[in-house]
Chains A and B, each alone.
Chain A
Amino acid sequence: MASLIHCPHCGVRPKEEFSIRGDASLIRPDPEASDEAWNDYVHIRSNPRGRYREHWQHVAGCRRWLVVERDTFTHEVFAVTDAASSAREAGR
């Protein structure tokens, strides 16, 4: 876990200002999607070593949800972006 996170809205902040939700690559399925799709979305999580995209919320700051792309092994943070922009890009 990183010590400092660069919030795109607030600048460099300590990890204590954030809360972590988990995998950011999951996209909420359509209500009509298959049982498997919903099961995967709600229950199935990988625990990868290496590059990972996670949803973090800047709870004590701007309260925005962010996509933190980081390495779970080296703890390097590659990018932090606003989750809404990512969601729009993903065409949600």
Chain B
Amino acid sequence: MTAYRLASGGLIDRSAPLDFRFDGRNLTGFSGDTLASALLANDQLLVGRSFKYHRPRGIVTAGPSEPNALVTIGKGADSDPNTKATVAELYSGLDAHSQNRFPSLKYDFGAVNGLLSPFLGAGFYYKTFMWPAAFWEKVYEPIIRKAAGLGRAVLERDPQAYEKCWAHCDLLVIGSGPTGLMAALTAGRAGLRVILADEDFRLGGSLLGETARVNDASAQDFTETVLAELRSLPNVTMMPRTTVFGWYDDNVFGAVERVQKHVALPQAKLPVERLWRIAAKRALLATGAEERPLVFGGNDRPGVIMAGAMRTYANRFGVAAGKSVAIFTNGSAGYRTAADLAAHGVEIAAIIDSRAEGADVAPDGVRVIRSASVIDTKGRQRVCGAVVERSGFEQTIACDAIAMSGGWNPVIHLACQRGAKAIWSEDLKTFLAPDVGNGLVVAGAAAGRYTLAGCLKDGAEKAVVIAADLGFSTVSHTAPAVEGEIDPSFTALWYSPGAKAKAFVDFQNDVHVKDIGLALREGFGHVEHAKRYTTNGMATDQGKLSGINATGLLAAMQGISPADVGTTTFRPFYTPVAFGALAGTSRDEHAAPVRKSPLHGWAQRNGAVFVDSGLWFRPAYFSRGGEKTWRESTDREVRNIRENAGLCDVSTLGKIEVFGPDAAEFLNRLYCNPFLKLPVGKARYGLMLREDGMVYDDGTTSRLSHEHFVMTTTTALAGGVMSHMEYCAQVHWPDLKVRFCSSTDQWAQMAIAGPKARLVLQALVEDDISDAAFPFLAAGAVTLRGGLKARLFRISFSGELAYELAVPAGLGEAVADAVMEEGMAHGICAYGLEALNVLRIEKGHVTHAEFAGRVTPDDAGFGRMVSAQKPDFIGKRLSTRYGLTAADRMQMVGLKPVEPDQHIRAGAHLLREGAKPSTLNDQGYVSSACFSPTLGHDIALAFLKSGRERYGERVVVWDKLAGAEVVAEICNPVFVDPGNTKLNS
């Protein structure tokens, strides 16, 4: 046993032990622990295997930059892979598993990769797997996939709930360390709406592990005092467990809150995570600085830990990482760790200082070796000694842990996420955030102000400026006094020379110094190339520890400044975010809203089988007892409508009320056919073009009064047509006196079609609807028996005598029931989209299957509708261009198979008999096809070159998907009642 729980101290609740499991072992920690601190307290240093060489790896940090201690928490569908043990809050029953090892963490077969390591250098995959190309899919990729990957994504559905939420504030403070706390306090006191977010479950940041005293109190007591005041301010919202992961346009920040990732028994009513979008007038980045690892031989052995992390484990969690710790440092921070560990009774084996001199004081009796470096480490699955080199002499220092401190990297990721590049500071030997305007201000250690007093002061001062900027006045108060200030000085050391073992830069992706050198030699020295070539910084930690060292190494190897190398690009997300959180509640039935027709219940009661139609649910057909297929139901419905009558829900068609003295003029410009002289009380079929001359949408428009029209659109384009009309009215013709609004949802609309339609309707309608009184294309208000006001239109999609009846939506079901009741004696049936489709194909009527965006009115047989007289309408000018009037355009025709039992499917192409299928020989395509119960065989609508001149000819219907070729006869597309006698009856 080497790592152990200290007898006292730390912000853990020793009266609240928590049982948890790691790789099946039962262990105990305390409330306030992270999984990592609890593992350390149980001397579980080895937590994973590295990605490429499967080397044993241990905990390195105490925070979100952790490259090694990635575990899977939970099991099955509930498991979370790649969870950083260093930020996972311990809870009772937590069940964690190490990753990337087989069969066990201690004995891992993949470690043979380590023996092959000479062959696994940078660019290995690129060089090795280049050819043959066919090998990629069959050989290389499966092998790489099997070997690669840390945690495994599970295939089961995530049972957890997530949600998304918006927040608004004057000031978002990111990070609750000394800088963030003082900024939040200053802004909160001034009355700003403040959000203080921190990824930790406990607010306070570095103060939680700090031994310096603030205002004559311990740093922890000072923190509690500030937090208590913040809690008392109603304008301050504190968000622990919340990682601000992205900075987006207009100062909107993305954050993820771990609402109940840390609890043994989640509440069903709460999401496990909540994704926040925070619109902040100003934001203060108080994310502190990350300690820089040292790159030395054997630096990846379990037990080599960041000095600051070791200090945090000791001070905050009451855990010693070892009994005898060697410290390798290039600055003062190493001495501070030594002092704190010594104070906890931990033996300091030696301080190995890369610098020749320094004023730092080592704890009493501790040996300091100056101008020295660690060149190798001893031990297998944990360190047992450091090989130290000084002036050419080597010595091995026995120890059971090594603390390393290589200086500081400000955490500036968010400030660089919108394109601005980090700037090298020669003074601080690190990259600082550029000036990104006053929306996001960087403060404290994140701005290179590393002292505690400096952080406290900077946070407060910058909040004062922000408050004043937003028009708030602040009360001045003295900056907190610090006793036992820290010294952040260091001398940059990118690489500890003389390494006798691999010196790792990126622990997670197993990139070591030689890989970087190889990348440079092979011409991939640009920082972005080196990243891809070596994969440095491409693992789940995105190079939080390794990025700056890689830059430093690339610079040192070329003898240039890191300023000339630069950093790789910072992008959201700062740390990985679960897809579940990004989706929020938008899944399953909440992924897209379902629109329900006012006749939905009526359709359900009548046995409807529904189909998705955009956002709508529409009846596809109405199944009756004994009917086994949709075709049986559909054929029955079609026959019944041709013989008796049927009722179909058409409420989903777009309905737009158009008003104004210029309403007729507006419609006249919108449609390609004339509307100025449409009489009151009449409906007219209208065809709307796009400006390029192709058909956009169609529908009927009725004139209810001189200045009031109601137009209909197709279901699919109701929204699009509305926007198009708004564009025309507002942008093209703002001076037209026209107003319109949608009334789609106000009306339940039903088509009543069939030779008995009038008989059925007349029983319900008080007005005279005889053919004389209410002829084809009549439209207007009617009164239903009982006094209900309704709208009636005599229009027909089926080719039968047909009406569309519109009643207020709430009464739709009652009226539909009444129609069915009155129609029972006449054999009425409910019919759905399938029958509607068959009826209209039989009649040669078009839908968006025909108007697919490449079809002109003339192509579809509406050439004569297009007004030549109108001075202008949308699409007029380009309708006349040569390509749109060419004689060999594909024109709509009907097709019927020569052998009546053969089938034609939509999407099939048309060929001359004997012609080979090729683009050159393509004669056209089938747009719609169905079995016609009326004719007893398949029929189709198709677009065929010069089709209207070719009635009677034969073509081959070539359906590659179905592997079928059918000879069909070209015919008039109106298969049923071409003389319109039924329609006008």
- A interface residue numbers (CB < 8 A to B): 1-4, 12, 14, 19, 21, 28-29, 31, 33, 35, 38, 41-43, 55, 57, 59, 63-65, 74-75, 77, 82-84, 87-88, 92
What residues of B have a CB within 8 angstroms of the CB of A59 in the complex?
719, 723
Partner of B876, one of A4, A31, A35: A31
Check if B730 sits within 8 Å of A84, measured CB to CB: yes
Interface size counted on chain B using CB atoms at 8 A: 28
Q: How far is the CA of A43 from the CA of B883 in the complex (A)?
A: 15
Q: In angstroms, how far is the closest chain A Cβ from the Cβ of B564?
A: 25
Inter-subunit contact A87/B731 (CB<8 Å) = yes
- Compute how far the CA of A74 lies from the CA of B277 in the bound complex, rounded to whole angstroms: 20
Q: Which residue of A lies closest to B692 (CB)?
A: A42
- A74 vs B418: C-alpha distance when bound (angstroms): 9
Given contacts A38-B878, A83-B731, contact A63 B248 (CB under 8 A): no
20 further A-B pairs in the complex, CB-CB below 8 A; given A28-B691, A87-B734: A2-B250, A3-B248, A4-B252, A21-B727, A29-B877, A31-B876, A31-B877, A38-B877, A41-B691, A42-B878, A55-B727, A59-B719, A63-B723, A64-B726, A87-B730, A87-B731, A88-B734, A88-B735, A92-B732, A92-B733
Tell me if B872 is interfacial: C-beta within 8 Å of chain A: yes
| Contact A55 B250, beta carbon cutoff 8 Å | no
Contacts of A38 in B (CB 8 A): 877-878
- In contact, A65 and B730 (Cβ under 8 angstroms): yes
Q: Give Cα A87–Cα B277 distance, bound, in whole angstroms.
A: 35
Task: Report the minimal beta-carbon distance from A37 to chain B, rounded to whole angstroms.
Answer: 9
Q: How far, in angstroms, from A57 to B729 measured CA to CA in the complex?
A: 13
Main secondary structure of the interface of A (DSSP, over half): mixed
B901 at the interface (CB under 8 A from A): no
Pairs A–B under 8 Å by Cβ, sample size 15 = A3-B252, A3-B279, A31-B872, A38-B878, A43-B692, A59-B719, A63-B726, A74-B419, A83-B731, A84-B730, A84-B731, A87-B730, A87-B734, A88-B734, A92-B731
* A65-B730 Cα distance, complex, nearest whole Å: 7
Query: In the complex the two chains form, is A83's CB within 8 Å of B872's CB?
Result: no
- Report which of A31, A41, A57, A74 forms a contact with B727, defined as CB distance below 8 A: A57
Contact A31 B871 (CB under 8 A): yes
Contacting pair B692 A64 (CB below 8 A): no
B249 within 8 A of A: yes
Query: B881 contacts which chain A residues (CB < 8 A)?
Result: 35
- Give A31 Cβ to nearest chain B Cβ, in Å: 4
Instruction: Pick from B726, B733, B734, B876: contact of A57, CB below 8 A.
Output: B726
Nearest CB to that of B691 among chain A residues? Answer: A42
B231-250, CB < 8 A from A: 248-250
- How distant is B280 from chain A, measured CB to nearest CB, in Å? 11
**Contact: B249 with A1, CB < 8 Å?**
yes
When distances are taken between beta carbons in the complex, the residues of chain B under 8 Å from A75 are: 249, 418
Q: Are A4 and B692 in touch, CB under 8 angstroms?
A: no
Cα separation A84 to B166 with both chains bound (whole Å)? 32
Contact A3 B250 (CB under 8 A): yes
* A65/B249 contact (C-beta < 8 A), A84-B734, A92-B734 known: no
Q: How far is the CB of A2 from chain B (nearest CB, A)?
A: 5
CB distance from B897 to the nearest CB of A (A): 40
Residue in A12, A55, A63 whose CB lies within 8 Å of B731: A55
For the complex, give the distance between the alpha carbons of A43 and B877 in Å: 13
Q: Which residues of A lie under 8 Å from residue B250 when comparing CB positions? A: 2-4, 77
| Those of B842-879 within 8 Å (CB) of chain A | 871-872, 876-878
CA distance A7 to B671 in the complex (A): 31
A12 cross-chain contacts in B, Cβ below 8 A? 279
Per the bound structure, the CA–CA distance linking A43 and B876 in Å amounts to 15
Q: Are A4 and B279 in contact (CB under 8 A)?
A: yes
Taking Cβ atoms with an 8 Å cutoff, the residues of B that contact A are 166, 248-250, 252, 277, 279, 418-419, 691-692, 719, 722-723, 726-727, 730-735, 871-872, 876-878, 881
Chain A residues near B877 (CB-CB < 8 A): 29, 31, 33, 38
CB B253 to nearest CB in A, in angstroms, measures 10
From residue B21, how far is it (CB to closest CB) to chain A in Å? 43
Closest B residue by C-beta to A29: B877
- A35 — which chain B residues lie within 8 A by C-beta? 881
B808 to chain A, nearest CB (A): 24
Chain A residues near B872: list those with CB within 8 A. Answer: 31
Query: How near does chain A come to B278, taking the closest CB pair, in angstroms?
Result: 11
A1 to B730 CA separation, bound complex (whole angstroms)? 24
* Chain B residue at minimum C-beta to C-beta distance from A38: B877
- Asked whether, in the complex, the Cβ of A65 is within 8 Å of the Cβ of B726, the reply is yes
* In contact, B878 and A65 (Cβ under 8 angstroms): no
Query: Complex: how many Å from CA A35 to CA B727?
Result: 23
Q: How far is the CA of A28 from the CA of B878 in the complex (A)?
A: 12
B932 to chain A, nearest CB (A): 39
Separation in Å of the B379 CB from the closest CB of chain A? 51
Q: Is the CB of B252 within 8 A of A19?
A: no
Chain B hits for A83, CB < 8 A? 730-731
CB distance from B738 to the nearest CB of A (A): 12
Taken together as a complex, chains A and B put the C-alpha atoms of A84 and B734 apart, in Å, by 6
Q: Which residue of A lies closest to B875 (CB)?
A: A42
User: Which residues from chain B contact A1 at a C-beta distance below 8 Å?
Assistant: 249
Q: Which residues of B contact A92 (CB under 8 A)?
A: 731-734
Residues of chain B within 8 A of A63, CB atoms compared: 722-723, 726
Contact at B731–A65, with CB atoms within 8 Å? yes
The residues of B that contact A41 with a CB separation of less than 8 Å are: 691
Cα–Cα, bound, A42→B877 (Å): 10
A38, B693: Cα distance in complex, Å: 12
Complex CA gap A36/B640 in Å reads: 55
Residue ID in chain A nearest B742 by CB atoms:
A63
What are the residues of chain B within 8 A of A84 when measuring CB–CB?
A: 730-731, 734
Residues of B within 8 A of A64 (CB): 726, 730
A75–B436 alpha-carbon span in the complex (Å): 14
Shortest C-beta distance, B871 to chain A (Å), equals 6
Minimum CB–CB distance from B718 to chain A (whole Å) comes to 13
**B692, B877, B881 interface centre (most CB from chain A within 10 Å):** B877
The residue on A at minimum CB distance from B873 is A31
Which A residues touch B166, using CB under 8 A? 14
Q: Which partner residue on chain A sits nearest B419 by CB separation?
A: A74
The 7 closest A-B pairs by CB, nearest first: A3-B252, A4-B250, A84-B734, A31-B872, A84-B730, A3-B249, A3-B250
Docked complex Cα distance between A57 and B733 (Å): 16
A88 to B691, CA, bound (A): 21
A19 to B878, CA, bound (A): 26
CA distance A76 to B5 in the complex (A): 53
- B253 — nearest CB in chain A belongs to which residue? A3
- Closest CB of chain A to B283's CB: distance in Å? 13
* Selected contact of A28 from candidates B419, B726, B730, B732, CB within 8 Å: B732
Closest to B720 in A: A19
User: How far, in whole Å, are A46 and B727 apart by their CA atoms in the complex?
Assistant: 21
Interchain nearest-CB distance for A58 vs B (Å): 10
The docked-state distance in angstroms from the alpha carbon of A33 to that of B166 is 49
B residues within 8 A CB of A74?
A: 419
Q: In the complex, A21→B719 CA distance in Å?
A: 14
Q: Which residue of B lies closest to A67 (CB)?
A: B731
Q: Known A42-B691, A42-B878, A75-B249; judge A57-B723 contact (CB<8 A).
A: yes
Residues in B neighbouring A55, C-beta threshold 8 A: 727, 731
What residues on A are CB-neighbors of B719 within 8 Å?
59
A57 to B726, CA, bound (A): 9
A33 to B877, alpha carbons, bound, how many Å?
Answer: 9
**In the complex, what residues of B have CB within 8 A of residue A43's CB?**
692
Instruction: Return A83 CB to nearest CB of chain B, in Å.
Output: 5
Known contacts A2-B249, A75-B249: A19-B734 contact under CB 8 Å = no
Cα-based distance from A55 to B722 in the complex (angstroms): 16
Distance, CA A35 to CA B878, complexed state (A) = 9
Assembled-state Cα–Cα distance A4/B250 (Å): 6
Please measure, in the bound complex, the distance between the C-alpha atom of A63 and the C-alpha atom of B881, giving whole angstroms: 34
Task: Looking at the assembled complex, report how far the CB atom of A79 sits from the nearest CB atom of chain B, in whole angstroms.
Answer: 14
Q: Give Cα A3 to B279, complex, Å.
A: 9
CB distance from A9 to the nearest CB of B (A): 12
Note all chain B residues with C-beta closer than 8 A to A21: 727
B727 nearest CB neighbor, chain A only: A65
Which residues of chain A are within 8 angstroms of B418 by Cβ–Cβ distance? 75
